[in-house]
Amino acid sequence: MAQGMESDVSDDDSNSLSIDELLDLVHVHQKVTKKQSKEIENLNTLNDLNAILATNYEDLLCKFKLLSEKHKELKLKNESINDTNDFLKRKRSIPCANSISKEDASTSCID
Verdict on whether the full-model pTM lies above 0.75: no
Q: Dihedral, CA atoms, 30, 32, 36, 39, nearest 10 degrees?
A: 120
Specify the amino acid at residue 92.
R
The reported pLDDT for the residue numbered 35 is 97
Is residue 30 assigned to a domain? yes
In a domain, 54, yes or no: yes
Instruction: State phi, psi for 106 to the nearest 5 degrees.
Output: -75, -20
Per-residue pLDDT, 24: 95
Residue 96 lies in a domain: no
* Residues in the chain, pLDDT under 70: 1-14, 94-111
Segments forming the whole domain that contains residue 44: 19-91
Give 75-95 pLDDT, tens digit per residue.
999 999 988 888 777 777 766
Residue 40: inside a domain: yes
Q: Which residues lie below 8 Å from residue 17, measured CB to CB, with a gap of 6+?
A: 25
